[in-house]
Amino acid sequence: MTWRFRNSQLSGKQPRSIWLLSAILFTSGLDGGFILLPLIEFPQYQEKNIYSFTNPLAIELGFWGITAWTLYYVSTLYFLTLEPKLQLFSKQWVQKLSALVVIITCAFTLSLFTQLVPFYLSERHSDHPLFTFIILLVIILTALVISTRISLMMRISQLSVLIFIGLWSYLALSSQFDSQTLISSIDLGADYLTSLHKFIVPFNDYHEFYLAWWLTWSIMLGQFVARFVSGLKPLPLFIVMTLLPLIPCFLWFALLFHLEQSHFTLTTEVKWCLLLLALAFVINSLDFMVENYSRAFNIGLQDIGKSRFIIINSLLLLTLSYLFQLQLIFVQWSAFVVILLFYLLIGYKKLPTPYFTRSTKKPVANADRCTHTSNIGDQTTTDGMS
């Protein structure tokens, strides 16, 4: 698709600047695990033999690296180029199946955050069932409110990025993360590139969990991000969505690895800051997902009213979150549904020939010279290919 539409100017329904697009992608494409998991995972990567083929920093980059962002890019490119013509996701059964993946992913995101909190707070408080319930309820209610306003979603995304930069700067200064440390981190991180082939398919159950995580997010995030693309060709879009996010990811992982290696003691205040930043990322992830599945299942604000919208969605997400905590459902299941959806779509409707072949007769489609503007959401398209 990147080559076929290489000269197309791609735009979504609500085009925004590259800065805002990057902020939305970074905060919505990652959740609280990005902030909280590395300090928990680094010791495991050092101790277990299966990770001995490279260093812990390279492993972390591999799990959160190019594979995930490329999936997001391919999904976004599909919704900007092929979906306006094929209209596969306008089919009701596709919308329902996709929304099922989204709502399961919402519950997984909530469950993961509550499981990570005890690593940063005293067990006396964080393990109490009431504490977990309050956290879940606060996150859900906040996400429900934000999901009703796209403008508020974008403001929260920008604010989260600024908080992320501020916290990174504070921790870097406090832990003496200097230029020499950065250079050493770059050397360690470069091992990820030499081991890139090892991260394409799962090499253990934990890597499989990560790949399932990214696959589950790919469709819904592609739909969401496609709205905000503004006049970008596929190659610049690839850079914005795949290479650009790796910079803050690397800086964050390098800093946390430095904290772990130098045995830096996190104060209570810093732990709370990490949790609050993770909470912001979780809310950023949930708000667009709630907007997605509630529309498909007709349980959105405009469908059932404010009170019922809050009550029904809160009960639904709370129930599914507890099912995740009880290990009665798993994120791998939703990844399986995504794969199943791919195969069903391929079998349901073959892709039109003009997208993949060049006719020697009268040209029906020439994506190389078209200006392609997709209005994702209301399924209206202005396309120079018609």
What is the C-alpha to C-alpha distance for residues 156 and 158, in angstroms, rounded to an integer? Answer: 5
Range 36-51 average pLDDT: 93
Q: Cα separations (Å) of 136 from 117, 129, 175? A: 12, 11, 32
Per-residue pLDDT at 3: 83
Per-residue pLDDT at 355: 40
Please provide the distance, in angstroms rounded to a whole number, between the alpha carbons at the two ends of the chain: 17
Per the listing, tokens 């398919």 go with 201
pLDDT in tens, 152-171: 777 888 888 899 999 999 99
pLDDT higher than threshold 80 for residue 218: yes
Per-residue pLDDT at 215: 87
Chain-wide mean pLDDT for the chain? 83
Instruction: Say which range, 50-64, 80-94, 166-180, has the weakest mean pLDDT.
Output: 80-94
Q: What's the burial of 33, exposed, middle or buried (CB within 10 Å: 0-12/13-18/19+)?
A: buried
Residue 31 phi/psi, 5° resolution?
Answer: -125, -160
Range 204-214 average pLDDT: 90
Range 116-129 average pLDDT: 73
Range 170-188 average pLDDT: 93
Per-residue pLDDT at 83: 87
**What is the 3-class SS of 178-230, one letter each residue?**
CHHHHHHHHHHHHHHHHCHHHHCCCCCHHHHHHHHHHHHHHHHHHHHHHCCCC
Per-residue pLDDT at 327: 84
Per-residue pLDDT at 185: 94
pLDDT higher than threshold 60 for residue 349: no
pLDDT higher than threshold 80 for residue 345: no
pLDDT higher than threshold 80 for residue 382: no
pLDDT in tens, 352-377: 544 433 333 444 444 343 444 444 44
Range 112-124 average pLDDT: 81
**Three-point CA angle 323, 328, 331, nearest 5°:** 85
pLDDT higher than threshold 50 for residue 64: yes
More confident residue, 249 or 349: 249
More confident residue, 291 or 272: 272
Per-residue pLDDT at 156: 82
- 180 contacts 321 by C-beta, under 8 angstroms: no
pLDDT higher than threshold 80 for residue 385: no
